[in-house]
Amino acid sequence: MGFDFSLVDVFTDRPFGGNRLAVFPYATGTADATMQQLAWEFNFSETTFVLPPSDPSCTCRVRIFTPRQELPFAGHATVGTAAVLASLSDDKQFVFEEGIGPVRVDVDGESMRLYLDSPRYENSSGKRPDRRGRRQWLRHHRRPWHHDPPLRVWRRPLEGVQE
């Protein structure tokens, strides 16, 4: 059994820079354990697998794995997966079904934008924090999800993997 995959350098304008990512754009039928083993084998911070959506309002389902576990969301993995899918089709807008819910990604040339619903603030006390506490939490957890530099994408077949 073989798998097609792409290697992507995200958040960089040069090869072998930025955040490495492996994207399996045609992962239908791949077992969960195989996805985890492939992520472990690549040993990148994340590896993504693209599947048909279970939510009809989404373009596809994207599962994100680290070498040790599945994640509900990762910014660079989402951006890199969108770059690969855009390079394989004429589509430039995607709604990914991810563990955190739908994530909209717009691809405009070399620019990518993620649109996320605001996360619900939670704390261990169950009490709503004051305004200063919310600002501190947002400053610590807010990240820019806009990508302008070009992405490098390489496609490689992976042969001989047994499920």
What CATH code is assigned to 3-158? 3.10.310.10
Mean pLDDT of 100-123: 70
Sequence ranges of the domains in the chain: 3-158
pLDDT tens figures, 14-54 = 778 888 999 999 999 999 999 999 999 999 999 999 999 99
Q: Is 159 a catalytic residue?
A: no
Q: Catalytic residue, from 46, 70, 98, 159: name it.
A: 46
Q: What is the DSSP string of 90-146?
A: S--EEEEEETTEEEEEEEETTEEEEE-PPPPP--TT-SPPPHHHHHHHHHHH----E
Q: pLDDT grade, residue 112 (50/70/90)?
A: low
Tokens for 82? Answer: 């969108």
Which of 45-54, 107-116, 117-126 has the least mean pLDDT? 117-126
Q: What's the maximum distance between 2 C-alpha atoms anywhere in the chain?
A: 56
**CA 98/CA 119 separation, integer angstroms:** 14
Mean pLDDT of 6-11: 87
**CA 85/CA 11 separation, integer angstroms:** 17
